[in-house]
Amino acid sequence: MPSSLRGTAAIARRELGAYFSTPLAGVFLTIFVALTGAFAFYVGGFFDRGQADLYAFFAYHPWLYLLLVPAVGMRLWAEERKTGTIELLMTLPVSPWEAVVGKFLAAWAFVGIALLLTLPMWLTVNYLGDPDNGVILASYLGSFLMAGAFLAFASFVSALTKNQVIAFILAATVCFLLVMSGVDLVQNALRVWTPGIVSSAVSSLSFLSHFEEITRGVIEASTIVLFTSVILFALFATVIAIDQRKAS
Amino acid sequence: MSALVESTSLRKAFGPIVAVDDISLHVRKGEVLGFLGPNGAGKSTTMKMITGFLEPDRGTSKICGIDVAKHAKAAKGQLGYLPEGAPLYAEMTPKSFLNFIAAVRGIDGKARVMSVAAAIEKTRLEAVVDQRIETLSKGYKRRVGLAQAVLHDPPVLIMDEPTDGLDPNQKHHVRNLISEMAPQKAVIVSTHILEEVEAVCTRAVVINKGRIVADGTAEDLMRRAPYHGAVAVRIAQDRKDAVIAALSKHAAVDRVELIERVNGHISLRAIPKNGKPIATDVAALLREHSLPVEELFVQRGKLDDVFRQITMTEGKDA
């Protein structure tokens, strides 16, 4: 294995193990599965829709991620800085990029596991009717990509502070803005004082609108590009933040 | 042979505070450098720059000839480092932790099993390898940190206060461990425990306020002690004047001081001129004058005194 992959893989494995070494993992996974189900059935009206699809299930993912993804990402770097293990980690033969990517991948895999645990929903809807499984698969992938984008920002925010609570709140705020940027509330506030191009640029960043497209079965290149580039950008920002603030 | 650790003109400022100001350190194979200084003198900051964790404002640091800023990964591969306070991943067990370190360092398969076992044995962790690190005592935690640092048998070993907070037995063990490994490595140990310097170090560097104020062997440092080489004698009180008179006349004695007066006995101290050894002269002199002595010994001076002397020169905040 090339040496950069080796470090990244070792860090990712350790980090994923760290999630499962505390009760947090169980609590998180339970809450995630319970809430996605509850939203789909009670708020989304899964049965009332009378359609064999998972639209009611996926529609609430952005809102759930708003709270749950910062909870997963808040400890990534804040904890390392608080306990001082960052000094240990950064004096091992790994580059900041390898460490940042390794940790991010672990957190992303953890969210992926949470998503996998919702597969009974998919089975259920197949039992009840004849859904478009292509759309559902795309929605799962879209949901996973979106979670990754939120998570990358959570990782960045976590690198800025030693305090996990602050990391959580900041990450939730950033995620909120990313979700809401296409909503009329935000758009109206922007249109009043900025040229149209700004508000449409901000709107085009909206996770909500992009994700909705996917859940309707429309996968555009721009959506994939948006999520991927957001991830890369936020990870890049994390590397910078680690480099600048690791010792403070 | 060239030095394994070469740090040149390191400087680091945090805002207006200059933590480290122009420190250069060279450590060769087989040397154990004791890095001393009061708290806040810049010891840890210097070590962080040597290991490449912190970027210096100025100056360079090389490990085995590799620049830590330019070729960070290669340089760090040659380095074992125990950060201050021995930070560890609390939720892991020593075994899983050491395996993680080995994996990151690219030690795989059989070599990994062997190096982890060797590190566990060296640091005597056998009893706790499967216990979570957070449940371990301070001594064991420190040993896990040490095991991590020596796992890959690095040519350069840097330890920030490795014995801080350990009990005397544990300190002794850690010092033995360092001494055992020393001949094959270049070692830097920071400490503010002075006995440690005498116990394990071949050389001591004292820093104060970010600058090097002394550099030499423990013996060199001792020579700077106020009473280094002085001879103390204990005599009966009624002989006091005779002894003082006899000693004061001797050519090699600078002056005679009274140390203490206990239960009819008196302790005196003869201070030599130019630090020359005078013990035999003093003994012969006293015998010549038939003055009975209860006790006679050479004072080596205390490292503590030297330390205080060189780090408090600038007074108020030291």
Residue-wise pLDDT for A190-214, tens only, equals: 778 777 777 777 777 778 888 888 8
Residue type present at position B162 = P
Which residue of chain B comes nearest to A14, CA vs CA? B100
Residue B250 is classified by DSSP as S
A-chain CB neighbours of B96 within 8 Å are 17
For residues B249 and B138, give the distance between their C-alpha atoms in angstroms, rounded to a whole number.
57
Residue type present at position B195 = E
Contact yes or no for B76 and A92 at CB 8 A: yes
pLDDT attached to residue B64: 93
Mutate to test the interface with A, among B55, B104, B108, B146 (most CBs of A within 10 A): B104
Decide: B189 and B28 in contact? Cβ < 8 Å. Answer: no
Torsions phi, psi for A161 (to 5 deg): -140, 160
What residues of chain A, 118 to 137, have a C-beta less than 8 Å from chain B? none
Residue B85: which of B144, B189, B157, B162 has the closest Cα? B162
**In this model, does residue B318 exceed pLDDT 60?**
no
Is the pTM higher than 0.80? The answer reads yes
Mutate to test the interface with A, among B12, B89, B131, B144 (most CBs of A within 10 A): B89
At A248, the pLDDT band (50, 70, 90 cuts) reads low
A-chain CB neighbours of B101 within 8 Å are 92
**In this model, does residue B315 exceed pLDDT 50?**
no
Residue B34: which of B208, B192, B224 has the closest Cα? B192
Tell me if chain B has a CB within 8 Å of the CB of A92: yes
Decide: B160 and B190 in contact? Cβ < 8 Å. Answer: yes
Residue B161: which of B44, B76, B262 has the closest Cα? B44
What integer best gives the mean pLDDT of chain B? 87
Question: 3-class SS at A30?
Answer: helix
**In this model, does residue B317 exceed pLDDT 50?**
no
Task: Report which of residues A149 and B270 the model is more confident about.
Answer: A149
Q: Average pLDDT, stretch B60-75?
A: 92
Residue B212 is classified by DSSP as E
pLDDT attached to residue A247: 65
Q: Is B217 exposed, middle or buried (CB count within 10 Å of its CB: 0-12, 13-18, 19+)?
A: middle
For residues B192 and B42, give the distance between their C-alpha atoms in angstroms, rounded to a whole number.
12
Strand partners, B256: B270
Contact yes or no for B87 and A88 at CB 8 A: yes
Q: How far is B71 from chain A (nearest CA, A)?
A: 10
B-chain CB neighbours of A95 within 8 Å are 72-73
pLDDT attached to residue B316: 43
Residue A146: which of A217, A32, A204, A231 has the closest Cα? A231
pLDDT attached to residue B314: 53
pLDDT single digits (tens) B297-313 = 887 777 777 788 787 76
Size of interface A-B (CB pairs under 8 A): 70
What ipTM is given for this predicted complex?
0.88
Residue type present at position B138 = K
Decide: B190 and B35 in contact? Cβ < 8 Å. Answer: yes
Q: Average pLDDT, stretch B106-132?
A: 93
pLDDT single digits (tens) A7-38 = 999 999 999 999 998 888 899 999 999 998 88
At A143, the pLDDT band (50, 70, 90 cuts) reads very high
Q: Average pLDDT, stretch B267-284?
A: 81
For residues A118 and A213, give the distance between their C-alpha atoms in angstroms, rounded to a whole number.
21
Contact yes or no for B87 and A17 at CB 8 A: no
Write the residue in A18, A84, A247 that is nearest to B87 by C-beta. Answer: A84
Which of A36-40, B203-207, B313-317 tops mean pLDDT?
A: B203-207
For residues A100 and A115, give the distance between their C-alpha atoms in angstroms, rounded to a whole number.
23
At A117, the pLDDT band (50, 70, 90 cuts) reads very high
Tell me if chain A has a CB within 8 Å of the CB of B79: yes
A133-160 helix and A119-128 helix, angle to the nearest 10 degrees = 160
